[in-house]
Structure 1
Amino acid sequence: MAADTETEKERVNMKTRAAAVAILVTGVAHAQSSVTLYGLIDTGIVYQNTARRTPSRATSPGASLWSMQDGNIRTSRWGLRGNEDLGGGLSAVFWLENGFNVGTGAFRNGGDLFGRQAWIGLRASQYGTLTLGRQYDFLTDYVAPLSATSSEFAGKLASHVFDNDNLKHEMRLNNSVKFSSVSFNGFKTGAMYAFSGAAGAFANNSAYSFGASYSYGPFNFGGAYLQVNRPAQPALANASGAASTRDADQLTTGARQQIFGAGAQYKVANASLGLVWTHSITYDVTGIWQAGSTTTGALGGRCVKFDNFEINGRYFIRPDLSVGAAYTYTTGGFGGASKGFTSARPHWNSVMTQADYLLSQRTDIYLVGIYQRVGGANGNGAFAPSISTLDPSPGNEQVVAAVGFKHQF
């Protein structure tokens, strides 16, 4: 009888141990996969010393403007990202990200649910990541972090005129296949191709991008190229292709668009210094990105080019307090059907200063000031001072000041 009781106890113990092992294995398997819900909210009060009045009073002088503006540094967003360990250094990864306006609660990116990013792919720990979906190009990945437009620095308000080089992350590429390598002794590279999705018109609004970066001690370097292929005739344009015109994220529109960029950064202790150059050109222009949307007229049928030369610096006075500044000189030109650049030679001088104070690891307060002046535009209103998504000035200069705060979760 005692032996039977002892045997029963052993069976119970074995079942208990088996259950414990099963729970442990389940826990380990769950630990190898993760899904993260995250977000960021950025809003503040913005002052402009002069801005264009409503269309009905367009010929009147400008007026000062106070407004609440969302996403002065970083666009407010929420998203889901995750990975699953498939074994052997291979993981499945995905990213879904929505943009929204704090002031109105409305979706950004033309109302798309996941208009900022939407992709899925595989990551090999020894080689890199292959992803498919709506994604950023390599100017955003490798050059923007070296600029004051970096999401960790002054962001959107420090963007170059009309965001002509996409360092402000406005344009994404739909239907894209992208490979980004891991770091090999500080060197990374990548390439991507975005399909047009149009039957019989493989190159009608297709796009490709490639780039590389290198880090060596306190030095960081990056360079990238982006080309969007579109027809010269607007009537033949494929609006839902790689660079969609339906999501309000396109930049200068027209025929073929090319953007080159390179930058360098030196970091030491609690300071950094950066240099960035970008060049963009769009043929047979139909619209230009201004005040947060693409406007037509004034440049129709012409080609337009920009060169941006930026120097920036940042200094951490304390771990929770930083100051920074940037100067950008932008030259522009446009011409007629000959694709010459003789009609005008506009140039912009832009100066930005910023202070940022961390209330916690996730919440900070910022103060940003920008001065922009344009010359040589020959009276063409399309080349008016234009700071980020704000209303442009009716004159040749504009001053903007913004105070706000960001919270990450």
Structure 2
Amino acid sequence: MKKTVFILGPIVALAAVNAAHAQSSVTLYGLLDVGINYTNDAQTGRGTNGALNGRSLVNMTDGATRGYGSRWGLRGSEELGDGLSAIFTLENGFNPTNGALGQGGAMFGRQAYIGLKSDTYGTVMFGRQYDSQADFVSSYSPFIVAGLSGTTPGDVDGLGHTRRMNNAIKYVSHGYRGLSFGGTYSLGGKAGDFTGSQAWALGANYEAGNFSVGAGYFNARDPNLSSFGVNPNSGGATVSNMGSVGSLTTAQSNPIYAGYASARTLEIYSAGASYKVGKATLAASFSHTAFDNLGDLTAGPNPFGYHGTAVFNTATATVSYAATPAFLIGGGYTYTHGGGAVGNGSATYNQGIVSLQYFFSKRTEVYLYGVYQTASGTDSLGQPTVANIDLMTPSSTNHQFVGRVGIVQRF
């Protein structure tokens, strides 16, 4: 009898383990993206005469410039019955060229959330996440052919997924006859001020055959804190998390909108559409970004004394062509015009993109792209506008070219 119990005990235990595995799962995933860039002009600082200095630059960087961004993550789910599952995602961003953490040193800076998924009602998630506006519209922008380097200058409309929402509640629907939609709300967490530093976003998408269209809206109070200042190394209202004026020995950052940190509200409206024609996909998008009510020192500094509203309007066109199942060709054009802040002029940015991708397998690809940008007018730092391809060091002149060759490995 004892022998029978000894034999059946492990069998029953093994059956219980197998049943548990059938109801829940945890997946380890990630990718590494490393490439070498050539930039024709990158700022090195400012001369004693006030003029910006720049030099050509060759460097190796993480693939955030391609749009992937090196990462590893854990994704899990547990079946709870009646079509309901508990889910979670923890996603870390890092730089494979030196091993440093991304997103300002956050352990899981790309995403960190828990939620419930219903086969009938959709999914609700809680934690650090991307906003719904970017989720539903970014696929219609040049982001899809050259990653962040192909987005709006400075990713001013957020379609490059460069910013996250902390303390966020997010809902994503199932598809209903081609229609899907969602929304995200980030609690500001300010005592006595429910709307202070809050952010929210809405998005929707509709697909019918070869045609697809999407639209979104984003709103952030105190954007210097609630949208640009959400990483561990971010500062408070006395510093700009949106960029810097540089120094004699350091380059500027985000001169496109760095001077607008005192905005009380950031609003973004965006829409896009795409159509597949044979092996080609044509796409177009439009976005309207407004830094409202400049001069609020509780949100951020205002060293240039701006007030009113700074507005950026962007139009893009993109084409992707699958020459073979393994070889993709892409191109895009972006036009951005900004202005409107009282005390500041206007600026215009034109940007062209060409990219090539070759897939050795589903996991491994190599790519090559080139981005060229020209700028004119006066930027947010009150200087003659300098070119600034996203995530790259700004140019010291009104034009900039970046070429990159890289390799991606997924797991």
Q: TM-score, normalised by structure 1?
A: 0.85
Matched, 1:281 2:290: yes
| Structure-2 separation of matches of 1:53 and 1:96 | 37
Question: What's 1:35 paired with?
Answer: 26
Distance change in 2, residues 1:205/1:383 (3 Å): farther
User: Which of residues 91, 108, 111 in structure 1 aligns to 2:105?
Assistant: 111
CA contact (8 A) 1:119 1:131 kept: yes
Amino acid in structure 2 at the alignment position of 1:368:
Y
Matched, 1:345 2:346: yes
Question: What's 1:97 paired with?
Answer: 91
| Structure-2 separation of matches of 1:267 and 1:82 | 34
Amino acid in structure 2 at the alignment position of 1:32:
Q
Q: CA deviation at 1:149?
A: 0.8
| Structure-1 separation of matches of 2:158 and 2:227 | 15
| Structure-2 separation of matches of 1:274 and 1:18 | 61
Question: What's 1:5 paired with?
Answer: none
Matched, 1:330 2:336: yes
Q: CA deviation at 1:245?
A: 4.7
Question: What's 1:59 paired with?
Answer: 51
CA contact (8 A) 2:142 2:333 kept: no
Q: CA deviation at 1:147?
A: 1.7
Matched, 1:270 2:279: yes
Amino acid in structure 1 at the alignment position of 2:269:
F
Question: What's 2:362 paired with?
Answer: 361
Amino acid in structure 2 at the alignment position of 1:345:
S
User: Which of residues 162, 177, 181 in structure 1 aligns to 2:169?
Assistant: 177
User: Which of residues 302, 306, 315 in structure 1 aligns to 2:321?
Assistant: 315
Q: CA deviation at 1:221?
A: 1.1
**RMSD value, Cα:** 2.8
Q: CA deviation at 1:66?
A: 1.2
Question: What's 2:372 paired with?
Answer: 371
Question: What's 2:150 paired with?
Answer: 158
| Structure-2 separation of matches of 1:246 and 1:393 | 26
| Structure-2 separation of matches of 1:209 and 1:126 | 23
Matched, 1:146 2:155: no
Distance change in 2, residues 1:248/1:15 (3 Å): closer
Distance change in 2, residues 1:301/1:246 (3 Å): farther
Q: Which runs of 4+ in 1 moved over 3 A?
A: 14-26, 55-58, 241-253, 284-287, 294-303, 378-383
User: Which of residues 189, 192, 197 in structure 1 aligns to 2:181?
Assistant: 189
Q: Give the structure with higher Rg (CA).
A: 1
Question: What's 1:199 paired with?
Answer: 191
Structure 2: gaps of 5 or more residues:
235-240, 243-256
Q: CA deviation at 1:24?
A: 3.8
Matched, 1:137 2:131: yes
Structure 1: gaps of 5 or more residues:
1-7, 232-236, 288-293, 338-342
Amino acid in structure 2 at the alignment position of 1:129:
T
Amino acid in structure 1 at the alignment position of 2:38:
Y
Distance change in 2, residues 1:163/1:60 (3 Å): closer
Question: What's 2:252 paired with?
Answer: none
User: Which of residues 73, 76, 86 in structure 2 aligns to 1:82?
Assistant: 76
| Structure-2 separation of matches of 1:382 and 1:21 | 75
Q: Deviations over 1:325-350 (max 9, x none)?
A: 0001111103227xxxxx42311110
Question: What's 1:3 paired with?
Answer: none
Q: CA deviation at 1:285?
A: 4.8
Q: TM-score, normalised by structure 2?
A: 0.85
Question: What's 1:234 paired with?
Answer: none
Q: Deviations over 1:205-262 (max 9, x none)?
A: 001111111111111111110100129xxxxx8x4x5663544686553310001110
| Structure-2 separation of matches of 1:382 and 1:39 | 41
Aligned residues: 380
User: Which of residues 267, 270, 281 in structure 2 aligns to 1:261?
Assistant: 270
